[in-house]
């Protein structure tokens, strides 16, 4: 789905960038003179100033990048930035709301890593790709986030598979409401119970799309 004008205005074309140290940063955190790359297509970004002197990122060269055309891809990177900031202790908490249930704050102290476009084998013949996966210190999944324009017709039956709407993420990236009635994420459940029934370690099939 294309990106609505209000989201475009709020997040600009490119909401965040990869800094030279590989960290994901906002335009406000960018250092002028440093090189910055697009987190989606990995091409060079320029740091520019708006008429109101607010910094923003734009692709240096005109290229076709999904970040500028897909609300799902934009939401993925907005959420990545929000989660990264929060993990560093400098942003508002992110809450999860299972389908029609009460909200939980994500267990920040348990999250050690965020992986983008993470491949998860749920069956010997079936691999799912999450947009963002939150992993604990052992690399085990706490939450797999899938961003969608429309809900799945057949939901994934997995307790830590969180299906969210791109539109809702862009409107409020601090509250992740599940579209999936089978999701029953709870911070009171030990992380181990969120695992698949396979023996760890799970094959990591990460790839960049
Ligand atoms: Zn790009």
Q: For 73-99, what is each residue's pLDDT tens digit?
A: 999 999 999 999 999 988 899 999 988
45, 38 in Cβ contact below 8 A? yes
Determine the distance separating the centroid of ligand 1 and the alpha carbon of 18, expressed in angstroms: 11
In this prediction, residue 200 carries a pLDDT of 41
> Please, what is the average pLDDT of the chain?
87
Residue 193 has pLDDT above 80, yes or no: no
Radius of gyration of the chain (CA): 17
DSSP class of residue 14 equals B
Write out pLDDT tens, residues 1-53. Answer: 789 999 999 999 899 999 999 999 999 999 999 999 999 999 999 999 999 99
**Choice among 88-102, 109-123, 187-201 with the minimum mean pLDDT:** 187-201
In this prediction, residue 187 carries a pLDDT of 56
Question: In angstroms, rounded to a whole number, what is the distance separating the alpha carbons of residues 71 and 203?
Answer: 29
Determine the distance separating the centroid of ligand 1 and the alpha carbon of 35, expressed in angstroms: 14
Q: Which position has the token pair 């909200």?
A: 103
Determine the distance separating the centroid of ligand 1 and the alpha carbon of 21, expressed in angstroms: 18
Question: In angstroms, rounded to a whole number, what is the distance separating the alpha carbons of residues 64 and 155?
Answer: 32
Sorting pLDDT into bands at 50, 70 and 90, what band is 202? very low
Sorting pLDDT into bands at 50, 70 and 90, what band is 175? very high
Determine the distance separating the centroid of ligand 1 and the alpha carbon of 58, expressed in angstroms: 9
Determine the distance separating the centroid of ligand 1 and the alpha carbon of 1, expressed in angstroms: 17
Determine the distance separating the centroid of ligand 1 and the alpha carbon of 125, expressed in angstroms: 32
In this prediction, residue 196 carries a pLDDT of 45
Write out pLDDT tens, residues 135-148. Answer: 999 998 899 999 99
């Amino acid at each position: 789905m294309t990106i609505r004008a209000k989201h475009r205005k709020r997040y600009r074309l490119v909401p965040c960038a990869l800094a030279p140290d590989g960290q994901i940063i906002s335009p406000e955190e960018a250092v002028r003179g440093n090189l910055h790359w697009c987190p989606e297509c990995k091409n060079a970004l320029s740091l520019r100033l708006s008429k109101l002197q607010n910094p923003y990122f734009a692709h240096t060269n005109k290229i076709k990048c999904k970040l500028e055309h897909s609300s799902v891809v934009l939401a993925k990177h907005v959420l990545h930035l929000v989660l990264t900031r929060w993990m560093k202790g400098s942003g508002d908490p992110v809450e999860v709301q299972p389908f029609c249930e009460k909200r939980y704050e994500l267990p920040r102290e348990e999250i050690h890593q965020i992986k983008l476009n993470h491949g998860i084998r749920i069956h010997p013949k079936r691999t799912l790709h999450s947009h963002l996966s939150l992993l604990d210190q052992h690399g085990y999944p706490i939450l797999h986030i899938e961003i969608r324009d429309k809900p799945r017709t057949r939901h994934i039956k997995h307790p830590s598979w969180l299906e969210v709407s791109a539109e809702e993420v862009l409107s409020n990236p601090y509250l992740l409401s599940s579209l999936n009635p089978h999701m029953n994420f709870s911070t009171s459940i030990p992380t181990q119970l969120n695992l698949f029934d396979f023996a760890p370690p799970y094959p990591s099939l990460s790839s960049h799309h």
